[in-house]
Amino acid sequence: MFENVKEIPGDALLALMVAFKNDPNPNKIDLGVGVYKDDTGLTPVLNVVKKAEAFLLENEVSKGYIGATGSPELGPLLQKLMLGDNHPLITESRIATAQTPGGTGALRVAGDLINAVNPAARIWVSDPTWSNHFHVFAGAGVEVRTYPYYDADQNGLAIDAMLEAIRQIPQGDVILLHASCHNPTGIDPTAEQWDQISTLVAERSLVPLIDCAYQGFGEGLEEDVYGLRTLLSQCPEALITTSCSKNFGLYNERIGALSLVTEKAEHCQRAFTQVANCIRANYSNPPAHGAAIVTTILSDHALRQQWEQELADMRQRIQRMRNELVSSLQSLNCNRDFTFIAQQKGMFSYSGLSKEEVLYLRAHFGIYAVESGRINIAGINDQNIGLLSEAIHQAIQQ
Ligand code: PMP
């Protein structure tokens, strides 16, 4: 079976991580990998997570299976986090949520569901998007197409081209939109642009799949779901994939969720049985620990307050680093304008650096970024920002 199997090239980001690890340079800087890092370069366990885990260690009574759609408490808590209390979708029972292994698991179940209920539907993703979107949907047998998103000349959103492309998408297809902190560009639509996008998505009878992987990492827990709420106020049906990896720092616990929004409550119950069926055929049921942590935090007033504070600390550190990188480059009299970096949201930034400049940074300074020019702002800290700015200044003069 395996003698003629072709080797598949490894993930470019993983290769970058290995190259970084093997680089002996003591001043090397990792701007590649997509995890939050604190000012000392660590990806910490949040204190509030430690507290919740201590509680669980004492109080957990069983390691029994939790069922295909996971923790029954998690869904309502995540729904409220995204929609707010007493949202009509909740009170009208038009939303149902299944716990999944991370946001990736949610995306895969969404792909399986689309394939099961409407095999002709294509899914449209932004150009560029998180590269795994292509693998996950192709793996689920759903054809992936792209719509324009990034305007390289302006380092901004190509809103006109995006809207024009959405106008051409056939009715009934699925369109994936990043709720906030677009990966990889860091460029989010403004409120006004979200209004335009939502109106058009509804007019075209498209089904939005809202990938909500960074709630609280951009401007705030409420601000980061403006687009999500606007889409849901206009579109009768939707899918939402949630990741708790970033905002709870629970990357390796694999905790996320898939929410299904339907026009009528009875559609929701029926369609949810299809979600359960996709999960059973895939991994049977999800791991329990991450959901127990998130549930413990979100259902306790004091823990929730502490989580919001720790989340705000992460968000504010990222924003501070964005601002400081811009002013540090300005103080070096760089002959390129980088002010757009301070306007972008979340961990990632399309920095505008070319592939050659990225490779120059790696070869001469041990600074590792993705060849597209995407940098993880959370990899910048007070210790390395001086060197980084100097290196960028040199790289763009080559
Ligand atoms: N969607 C986007 C846009 C992401 O950036 C990521 C994580 N890189 C995910 C989904 C998947 O998150 P998780 O690690 O929870 O699977």
Of the residues 130, 173, 307, 345, only one is catalytic, namely 130
Burial class (CB in 10 A: 0-12, 13-18, 19+), 301: exposed
Distance of CA 132 from the midpoint of ligand 1 (Å): 8
- CATH of the domain spanning 12-45+315-395, picked from 3.30.9.10, 3.40.640.10, 3.20.20.70, 3.90.1150.10: 3.90.1150.10
- Mean per-residue pLDDT of the chain: 97
Give this prediction's pTM.
0.97
Residues near ligand 1 (Cβ within 6 A): 34, 102-104, 130, 178, 183, 211, 213, 243, 245, 256
Q: Does 184 sit behind a cis peptide bond, omega within 30 degrees of 0 on the bond before it?
A: yes
**pLDDT given for residue 33 in this prediction:** 85
Mutate to test the pocket of ligand 1, among 104, 133, 177, 255 (most ligand atoms within 8 A of CB): 104
Q: Examine the residue annotation and report whether 160 is marked as an active-site residue of this protein.
A: no
- In 3D, which of 38, 376, 385, 384 has the Cα closest to residue 181? 376
Three-state DSSP class for 205?
A: coil
Paired with 98 in beta bridges are 258
- Reported for 136-142, long-range contacts at CB under 8 A and 24+ positions apart, including other chains, are 136/104, 136/107, 136/108, 136/111, 137/107, 137/111, 139/108, 139/111, 140/108, 140/110, 140/111, 140/112, 140/114, 140/115, 141/111, 141/115, 142/111, 142/114, 142/115, 142/174
What digits encode the pLDDT tens for the residues 221-250?
A: 999 999 999 999 999 999 999 999 999 999
* pLDDT surpasses 90 at 278: yes
Are 181 and 347 contacting, i.e. CB atoms less than 8 angstroms apart?
A: yes
H or E segment and range at residue 112: helix 102-117
Torsion sign across C-alpha atoms 398, 377, 330, 151: positive
d(Cα 13, Cα 197) in Å, to the nearest integer?
Answer: 31
Angle, helices 159-168/191-203, rounded to nearest 10 degrees: 10
- Reported for 12-19, long-range contacts at CB under 8 A and 24+ positions apart, including other chains, are 12/370, 12/371, 13/131, 13/370, 16/368, 16/370, 19/362, 19/368
Mutate to test the pocket of ligand 1, among 131, 183, 187, 214 (most ligand atoms within 8 A of CB): 183
Of the residues 30, 211, 224, 345, only one is catalytic, namely 211
Are 227 and 179 contacting, i.e. CB atoms less than 8 angstroms apart?
A: yes
Give the mean pLDDT of 260-267.
97
Paired with 174 in beta bridges are 123, 207
Domain locations in the chain as residue ranges: 12-45+315-395, 65-299
Alpha carbon nearest to ligand 1 atom 10, residue: 103
**pLDDT given for residue 191 in this prediction:** 98
Look up residue 314 and give its amino acid: M
Tell me how far apart the 2 most distant CA atoms of the chain are, in Å.
62
Q: Examine the residue annotation and report whether 211 is marked as an active-site residue of this protein.
A: yes
d(Cα 306, Cα 197) in Å, to the nearest integer?
Answer: 35
H or E segment and range at residue 56: helix 47-59
> How large a percentage of the chain has pLDDT more than 70?
100
**pLDDT given for residue 13 in this prediction:** 86
**What distances in angstroms separate CA 188 from CA 125, 179, 357, one per listed residue?**
14, 8, 25
Which atom of ligand 1 lies at the shortest distance from residue 255's CA?
Answer: 15
Give the mean pLDDT of 20-43.
95
Are 128 and 281 contacting, i.e. CB atoms less than 8 angstroms apart?
A: no
What digits encode the pLDDT tens for the residues 348-382?
A: 999 999 999 999 999 999 999 999 999 999 999 99
Alpha carbon nearest to ligand 1 atom 8, residue: 34
Q: Examine the residue annotation and report whether 307 is marked as an active-site residue of this protein.
A: no
Are 147 and 182 contacting, i.e. CB atoms less than 8 angstroms apart?
A: no
**pLDDT given for residue 99 in this prediction:** 98
Band of the pLDDT at 337, cuts 50, 70, 90?
very high
Number of H helices, E strands in the chain: 15, 13
Distance of CA 148 from the midpoint of ligand 1 (Å): 21
What is the third-level CATH fold of 65-299? Aspartate Aminotransferase; domain 2 (3.40.640)
Give the mean pLDDT of 129-144.
97
What digits encode the pLDDT tens for the residues 165-216?
A: 999 999 999 999 999 999 999 999 999 999 999 999 999 999 999 999 999 9
Band of the pLDDT at 11, cuts 50, 70, 90?
confident
**pLDDT given for residue 386 in this prediction:** 97
Give one DSSP letter per residue of 284-344, joined into a string: SS--SHHHHHHHHHHTSHHHHHHHHHHHHHHHHHHHHHHHHHHHHHHHTT-SS--THHHH-
DSSP 242: E
Give the mean pLDDT of 50-58.
98
d(Cα 397, Cα 66) in Å, to the nearest integer?
Answer: 57
What digits encode the pLDDT tens for the residues 83-99?
A: 999 999 999 999 999 99
**pLDDT given for residue 9 in this prediction:** 83
**pLDDT given for residue 369 in this prediction:** 96
